[in-house]
Homo-oligomer: A and B are copies of this chain.
């Protein structure tokens, strides 16, 4: 039945694909897997058509992804950027099934196919939007909201700015730029971080990245935040799956009166289901249900109530709309996960977020932690914790080539080729070892 399809004879064709790895300054943020390196790796993809329209995208970078992307880029030369089904089929045949199980145990996702197709799809949608003079959200059925809400994303951290300063701070910084560099290793310091971040960005929800300290310290932090911000600011906590089931139930009971949802308290769908059934509070995940292959068992055991999707590892924006259809059908909520990122990823998240039905939860973003930018006009603005949908065409953001060159130089200079938070952690805590389950 699958007679191969010919391309139409008109319209643009992909002429060139440019892959540029970059390194962006990232502060020393603590998490269950260790510590963020002074630079986070991203990869910028540019797809250029024979009529010189350029589409762009941004994904989490590493040497393996970049290598695969170079190869994928060659495969799509000559293709019509509208033919995304064909492109996905071609890439699936090349990078498909063998990579499905490569997600890994870390809080971030390491699979190739979904990342590669996502980066190509978003850049093609940017091209399509430019060709038809419409914002990307209109390729997803159009926007249901003008502004997409995000949550404050708090991290425990030692003092430090990241980048060349590493664990030092820039003494000239003021406001959030200063607060971002401050130490936050206890509840009181975390409250200060939250106040500074919410003041700067206007966030109306707060998430604590947990799984770093003894659970009681993190619970104390949550209660300190609740005391400071009151009941109108929803709170969430994310131990990245390093709690035992018993730990999650014990501390979940304490947290129940003050949290909006509990994210990945434990590892694995079955354990999540046990915790959710016991606690009867909404559970969210970006670790136990991270692909369409994970969905059937998720539905069967009810491992979570909210899927924190991420178009970078769910295979793009159209696939994310498919995930939205699944969530709506099965009575799940959909929100978004984030890694350290710049404005191209943020713009894509906002276009998608504006098209999603039933968006009840503010999305995650690391964006306040980054200071670099790769788009013309500099960093995107938050108003009252939300980002306005760029008016396009396409993603509505354009590459700043000077910034791109500088960030690529950072990549070469910093010498990092993949994310490894364990090695970074050992710099401040010699001998520290990652544990999939810690408490």
Contacts and interface: CB of A to CB of B under 8 A. Distances in A.
Interface in A105-151: 131-135, 138, 140-147, 149
A89 interface: yes
A431 interface: no
A6 B146 CA distance: 7
A322 B147 CA distance: 25
Given A80-B142, A325-B323, A132 B135 contact: no
Interface string A321-348: 1111110111100000000000000000
A355 B89 CA distance: 11
A84 B359 contact: no
Interface stretch (A156-164, A167-175, A241-249, A291-299): A291-299
Nearest to A92: B357
A329 B295 contact: yes
Contacts of A361: 1
A213 interface: no
Nearest to A140: B85
A292 B329 contact: yes
Contacts of A135: 8
A2 interface: yes
B83 A142 contact: yes
Interface in A299-339: 299, 318-319, 321-326, 328-331
Contacts of A10: 133
B355 A85 contact: yes
Contact of A145 (B3, B80, B133): B3
B82 A142 contact: yes
Contact of A86 (B82, B142, B299, B325): B142
A53 to B, nearest CB: 14
Contacts of A85: 140-144, 355, 357
B362 A83 contact: no
Contacts of A318: 141
Nearest to A89: B144
A391 interface: yes
A144 B360 contact: no
A11 B134 contact: yes
A359 B2 contact: yes
A328 B292 contact: yes
Interface in A358-390: 359-362, 386
A295 to B, nearest CB: 5
Which of A8, A131, A318, A386 has most B Cβ within 10 Å? A8
Interface residues of A, number: 58
Contacts of A355: 85
Given A325-B326, A329-B326, A143 B292 contact: no
Contacts of A391: 8
A18 to B, nearest CB: 23
Nearest to A322: B325
Interface in A74-105: 80, 82-86, 88-89
A362 B86 CA distance: 20
A143 B11 contact: no
Given A85-B357, A134-B82, A355-B85, A4 B145 contact: yes
A354 interface: yes
Contacts of A149: 1
B3 A147 contact: yes
Given A132-B132, A295-B329, A329-B326, A138 B82 contact: yes
18 contacts: A1-B145, A2-B359, A3-B147, A4-B146, A5-B146, A5-B354, A8-B134, A80-B142, A85-B140, A89-B144, A89-B357, A293-B329, A296-B299, A296-B329, A299-B299, A321-B322, A323-B325, A325-B325
Given A1-B360, A85-B141, A322-B325, 20 more contacts: A1-B362, A2-B144, A2-B359, A3-B145, A4-B145, A4-B146, A5-B142, A5-B144, A10-B133, A82-B142, A83-B141, A88-B141, A131-B132, A132-B132, A295-B329, A322-B324, A322-B326, A325-B326, A326-B326, A326-B329
Q: Which 8 A-B pairs have the closest CB atoms?
A: A322-B325, A83-B142, A85-B141, A132-B132, A5-B143, A84-B141, A82-B138, A292-B329
